Structure formats: C-alpha cells, structure tokens
Amino acid sequence: MSQTPLLQLNDNGLYCAAGDFYIDPWRPVPRAVVTHAHADHSRPGCDAYLIAEPSFHVSNWRLSFGLPEGAKPPIETMPYGESRTINGVTVSFFPAGHIIGSAQIRVEHKGEVWVVSGDYKVAADPTCTPFEPVSCHTFITEATFGLPIYRWPDEDVVMSEINDWWRGNQLAGKASVVYAYALGKAQRVLAGVDASIGDIFVHGAVNNMNKMYAASGVALPRTTYVNDAPPKTDWSQTLIVAPTSARGTPWLRKFGKISTAFASGWMQVRGQRRRRALDRGFILSDHVDWHGLISSVEATGAARILVTHGNIPTVVRFLREERGLEAYGLNTPWAATAEGEEEA
C-alpha cells in the first residue's frame, strides 16, 4: 500500500487525494462521486456530481432542493461499467442492487483497486439493476444488518404475505396501509404486490418518487395519489403506500378503519413491530443480510475490508477471526439519521 491511502476520511467525507474528489461527501466539496440518491449519501451544495446514469432522475430531484427556480444541479452521469479518468485516477460504476441507479464505485490508481459499496443488496428487486461483485484489493462495505441474526426470507414469500394481508383486510372492511421508505422500498413493494387485488393509492412523497421511476423507465402498477382520489372512494378495499413519517398522523383519518404494516429489515427484530404500534411487519430490506454481506465481501477477493454504516465491530471481528482478512472499521455519518434507519 502506498503511503497515502487511495481513499481516506476527512472532515468533508471519503476523499481520494490522488484524484482530488470525494465519494458521498457530507459537506459541499468541489467534486463529488455519489453512490445513490438517499439523503445520507447524496447531499446538496457540491460544485459537480458524477453519478450512475439510472440515478439521474432521483438524484436530480434530490439535489434540486434549495436551488433557485429553474436552476439545475451540476450532475454528470456515466453508464454502469464505463470508466472515466479524474486526475489520473480511473473511476467506474457497478450496480449495487439497492435502489434505482445505486452504484458501487470502483477507483483504480497505479494498479491499486478500491471499491466502495455504498448501500447494497443481493436479493431480487425488479426496480433496479442487480448487484454485481467487483474484484478489488480493498472493499469498503456497509454493515447496516451486519449481525448473524439477520437472514432475509425469500422476497416472493414476503410479497405473498403482503397480498394475503391485503385480501384479509378487504374481508374485514379495513384499508391496508403499508409504510415503506418513499425512495426505493415503496417502489419495490408496488412492483411486487398483486395489483389485481384492488386499487392502490399512494402518499405524496411516494407519488413524487413514482414519477421519477416512471421517467427512468421502471414499470410499476397503476397508482393514484391519495389527494386525487374520487370523493366516494371505498378505502376498505384499497392498499395505501405511505412513508413512515405518516404513521400516527391525522392524514390517516380519512381512510376509516385501517390495518397498518411496515416493510423493512428492522421487522426481523423482536419487539420492533409492537414498539411502533403496527399490526404487521414484513421483512423486506434494501440492504444485504448477514450471509449476503459475508458472501459479497468474499466475492470481491479483497484482502482488505473497511466496514462502515451499522454493526461495524461484529463484522470486523468476524472477517478477521473467521476469514483471516485485514478488516477495519470506518466511521462515517452515512445512515446516522432516523431517515437512514427507515430506509432499511
């Protein structure tokens, strides 16, 4: 390893000194290369952004906040698998399977290769390009669900649980309100449910993101924005997809009798559903589970692993003791927010 690591943390973010750019910076910097459009990774105020092409519409939406009317954020896109040289450092994007346009960032300089996973998952998701392992010397992995207790059920099983719950609520005369993170999870739920069961309505936050997915060419079932619902809508037969911020708010009153559910990896944790006063929990995560994490790390062939974003000590210890890898923790503010937790 050279004296200056190819990527290292400073006050602004994960910095590549050789190329003079940042990956997912949390403060405004001259040049940002960004893994995906979730708020903890994609922050406004940078002079230039380089993102994966399918992330354009969601990133443009995210980064347009606070800009003067008509101003466009300084975004450049690059397709997955292509590369570009920034001050002698080669940068390329590979699919991370997390949400639309999410990318792992491969950085190569003088024969040394690092890959930054961003957030990623290996489970099937019809709304984004599947994760692809990339060989490298150093892999920076997230560890949101980096504990052996996390083991995701098959997504087909989860989707049929959601369908069964919806049908059951129809018989009981209750509207089915499923909470799902507005960017990524909501669209994954929509793409997976059986839209022949009934009409589907969405909260404004989900509706905005659905428009971005439509602009990006992702097929989703027909949905109606709740505010555009016909006056005599029989909510008891409908599915309503809303962000968790709608939980416990007066917005829910118009639906009459409801059953509530949350689609998230956190639903695997005992007590979480009750603590959040939900009727149902569906285990559906946009992050890797324990097995997915360890097998993805192994698939990179990397000898050195930097672990960020979640259960760092457990993953570091396992990779050192059970896999003989050089593993370290890397403390970043990614997913440090409540919003980040809900995204999971």
Q: In sequence order, which residues have a C-beta less than 8 Å from that of residue 205 and are 6 or more positions away?
A: 182, 242, 243, 245
Nearest distance in Å: CB 124, Zn ion: 18
Orientation of helix 204-215 relative to helix 56-63, angle to 10°: 130
Residue type, 34: V
Nearest distance in Å: CB 222, Zn ion: 27
CB nearer to Zn ion: pick between 38 and 57? 38
Q: Which stretch binds Zn ion (CB under 5 A): 33-41, 186-194, 219-227, 235-243?
A: 33-41
95 sits in which H/E element: strand 89-95
CB nearer to Zn ion: pick between 19 and 118? 118
**For Zn ion, how many residues bind (rule: CB under 5 A)?**
5
CB nearer to Zn ion: pick between 40 and 125? 40
Q: Is 38 in the site for Zn ion (CB under 5 A)?
A: yes
CB nearer to Zn ion: pick between 118 and 133? 118
Per CB under 5 A, contacts with Zn ion among 41-60 are none
Q: Which two tokens stand for residue 136?
A: 């490298």
Nearest distance in Å: CB 334, Zn ion: 5
Interface characters, 109-138, with Zn ion (x: CB under 5 A): ----------x-------------------
Per CB under 5 A, contacts with Zn ion among 314-343 are 334-335
Nearest distance in Å: CB 343, Zn ion: 5
Q: Which stretch binds Zn ion (CB under 5 A): 22-30, 37-45, 201-209, 254-262?
A: 37-45
Nearest distance in Å: CB 250, Zn ion: 29
Scan for tokens 């980064």, then name that residue: 63
Q: How many helices (H) and strands (E) does the chain have?
A: 8, 19
Nearest distance in Å: CB 309, Zn ion: 6
Q: Which two tokens stand for residue 4?
A: 């200056």
Nearest distance in Å: CB 184, Zn ion: 7
Q: Residue 120 to residues 8, 45, 253, 333: CA-CA distances in angstroms?
A: 21, 25, 36, 17
- CB distance 288 to 305 below 8 Å: no
Cα dihedral sign, 97-35-297-84:
positive
Q: Which stretch binds Zn ion (CB under 5 A): 39-47, 82-90, 254-262, 325-333?
A: 39-47
Cα separation of 215 and 302, whole Å?
Answer: 37
Per CB under 5 A, contacts with Zn ion among 183-242 are none
Report which of 37, 270, 11, 187 is spatially closest to residue 178, judged by C-alpha positions: 187
Give the Cβ contact number of residue 298 at 10 Å: 15
Interacting residue ranges for Zn ion, rule: CB under 5 A: 38, 40, 119, 334-335
